[in-house]
Amino acid sequence: MADKSADAFRTISEVAETIGVPQHVLRFWETRFPAVKPLKRGGNRRYYRPEDVELLRAINRLLYTDGYTIKGVQKLLKDKGAKGLLGEAAPTIPVSPAVTMPEAAAPGELFARPAQPTAVDAAFVTSLRAIRDRLAGALAQA
């Protein structure tokens, strides 16, 4: 696949390998996301345009990295459209640079002593609360 130009159409096997999902997942996504419409040629062979591949990458990121459900991605596609979804940067959770990881404990020590709260715990709890608040806001809008 490395010898193809960036504008070349891709087969389902090439796209599946590029994105890192099985071919049947791409076929399933075609049934769930109307914006994914590869060209179909003789024998129902699928050929994906470069913009189709980018949309599939965005869907993959939303589902497997950002934790969206299929219905959540469908809503995003409906609200923003495929172009709006592609132009959106992946949401990030701010991490404080002052947070340092505690040193690893030996396997025997792990359960031998009670865990002491650390700066990592406080930062983790803060980020979990921020996620909870974002989810509550999203559910209130839905």
Within the chain, how many helices (H) and strands (E) appear?
Answer: 5, 3
CATH classification code of 1-89? 1.10.1660.10
pTM score above 0.75: no
In the chain, which residues fall in CATH 1.10.1660.10? Answer: 1-89
Per-residue pLDDT tens over the stretch 67-122 = 899 999 999 899 888 887 777 655 544 545 555 556 666 666 655 655 566 666 67
Half-sphere exposure of 119 (CA within 13 A, CB side): 9
